[in-house]
Amino acid sequence: MTDIAARCIREQPRFKGIFKNKGKFERRVMLASPTMHNEEKTFIDKAFDEGFAGRNIARLEKEASEYIGVKHAVALSSGTAAMNMAVKLAAERLYGSTASISAAGGLGKAGALHGKRVFCSDFASSTMADAILFEGGEPVFVDVSDEDWSMDPEVLEIAFQRYPDVKLVMMNHAYGFPGQILRIQEICEAHGALLIEDASESLGAKVCGKQTGAFGDYGILSFGSDKIITGSVGGMLLTDDDYSAKKARSRASHSRAAAPWSQHEELGDDCRMSDLVAGLVLGQFRHLEEHIAKKRAIYERYLEELDGDIMCMNPVGEGTEPNYWMSCMTCESNIQFQETRSEREYTYTNQHGTASPMEIYDALEAFNVESRPVYKPMSMQPVFREFDQITLDGSKREYAEFDQDGFWVRCDVAKDCFERGLCLPSDIKMTGEEQERVVEIVRSCFD
């Protein structure tokens, strides 16, 4: 946004009085930024003193596995690396490995999921779908529930009716608000399918008192720069399977065999977490509950000030305790907002009594506030559009059978969330006064 465009927005009558002299926040209000404490330096110093021997990594893996309640936690370079590792391990566990090296020295690799379908959440980052495709599989996108914005168990049942041979399911807890993982777990067991639980946004969140990340056959954590606990980078694979944990540690360290020299008997990777990153995460781990409490206070202030007739906050599922990582809203005004989105651009019309998500996004940006549209569903992404999507209406590939001119999809919760949703600033360093002004800007968009 140019300075002239931002000033034009700030000078609109509806924003009069929020800041004196048509001003804005001097310090940018962030969506979610790292919060450092004193303990990080202690663990980083230990890494130097110990010669980067991996002791911080061992400490972190022990603390994380005990906190989550799983037997093994494998520290990796990123949440993406953990997701890729989980998919590879699950695929090989189900179908065996297809990696081979020819006598001529060429690498032949179709991927352990070659020709296999995998159910994954439609309302998520591309990490799941990418990992499936990297292993040669075909993602099938499962719609989400409006009760929690995570995979809808009823839709998952419909997906299994359509594709009964699927043996791998991947679900996430969107924005730190847990989904219906217990029902999804039961459905997977009934169909003999493995479950990968993406808890990269929900560290510290619980379902019926149990930590997210502990329900699936494999769990994923992320310590990226905007997560509730961060090492700037970093991730973790969680599992109760002894063989998978051993395999993950070996594969993440170039698959070196036990020998005095560098012995490689299978393909490997270089994605182990560094001791420095582990030190950063260890230092913040001691403040996780404090971070969750601050995130919850931010969400509850938004809930009190904004939730109602014109907008709603992301829902809390029954029996769940979110970590409130990201507070999100959806525009709910009785007057339908006018907004059009192409692949990369958007337009909207200012209307009294209503506001579109991107109108609010622009207004916040004009006042130096960071926000973000919610996930664009994977089924709407150009790179994934050829793959099937399952909603309460059934399979997208079956819609044409109902009507030659196309079938109107009545239920597409992920698409509806994207078209009406916006992530609000949820930074724990944001003051109460700053949040009140953010609320004023949002509410003024509807005037």
CA–CA distance, 244 with 237 (Å, rounded to integer): 10
**H helical segments located in 307-427:** 357-366, 413-420
72 and 214, same domain (yes or no): yes
CA–CA distance, 393 with 367 (Å, rounded to integer): 42
**H helical segments located in 144-287:** 153-162, 181-190, 242-251, 275-285
162 and 293, same domain (yes or no): no
Relative to beta strand 117-121, strand 138-142 is parallel
114 and 243, same domain (yes or no): yes
Domain boundary among 285, 310, 327: 285
Q: At 179, is the secondary structure helix, strand, or coil? A: coil
Domain boundary among 235, 263, 285: 285
Residue closest to 120 by CA, chosen among 103, 100, 143 = 143
pTM of the model: 0.94
Cα–Cα–Cα angle for 262, 258, 53, rounded to 5 degrees: 80
What is residue 108's predicted lDDT score, i.e. its pLDDT?
44
Query: What secondary structure does DSSP assign to 279-297, as a single string?
Result: HHHHHHHTTHHHHHHHHHH
DSSP 8-state code for residue 369: B
Domain boundary among 252, 268, 285: 285
356 and 381, same domain (yes or no): yes
63 and 28, same domain (yes or no): no
Domain residues for the domain of 215 are 39-285
What is residue 267's predicted lDDT score, i.e. its pLDDT?
87
Residue 160 tokens read as 């299994």
28 and 124, same domain (yes or no): no
Q: pLDDT means per 10 residues in the chain (447 residues)?
A: 93 89 89 93 91 91 98 98 97 80 48 94 97 96 96 98 98 98 98 98 98 98 96 96 96 88 88 95 96 98 88 94 98 88 94 93 98 97 96 85 55 95 98 96 92
Q: What is the CA radius of gyration of the chain?
A: 23
Residue 411 tokens read as 């239920």
CA–CA distance, 347 with 362 (Å, rounded to integer): 11
21 and 48, same domain (yes or no): no
CA–CA distance, 221 with 129 (Å, rounded to integer): 17
Residue 409 tokens read as 């999809």
What is residue 102's predicted lDDT score, i.e. its pLDDT?
43
CA–CA distance, 290 with 39 (Å, rounded to integer): 14
260 and 334, same domain (yes or no): no
Cα–Cα–Cα angle for 39, 41, 43, rounded to 5 degrees: 75
301 and 318, same domain (yes or no): yes
Residue 154 is part of a domain; what is its CATH number? Answer: 3.40.640.10
What is residue 411's predicted lDDT score, i.e. its pLDDT?
86
**Alpha carbons within 13 A on the beta-carbon side of 13:** 3
189 and 58, same domain (yes or no): yes
CA–CA distance, 174 with 159 (Å, rounded to integer): 20
Residue 305 is part of a domain; what is its CATH number? Answer: 3.90.1150.10
| pLDDT tens profile 59-75 | 999 999 999 999 999 99
9 and 107, same domain (yes or no): no
Number of domains in the chain: 2
Query: Do 64 and 219 touch, CB atoms closer than 8 A?
Result: no
Which residue reads 């990226």 in tokens?
224
What is residue 407's predicted lDDT score, i.e. its pLDDT?
52
CA–CA distance, 361 with 368 (Å, rounded to integer): 11
CA–CA distance, 289 with 389 (Å, rounded to integer): 37
CA–CA distance, 375 with 357 (Å, rounded to integer): 13
Residue closest to 85 by CA, chosen among 66, 112, 62 = 112
What is residue 109's predicted lDDT score, i.e. its pLDDT?
54
372 and 317, same domain (yes or no): yes
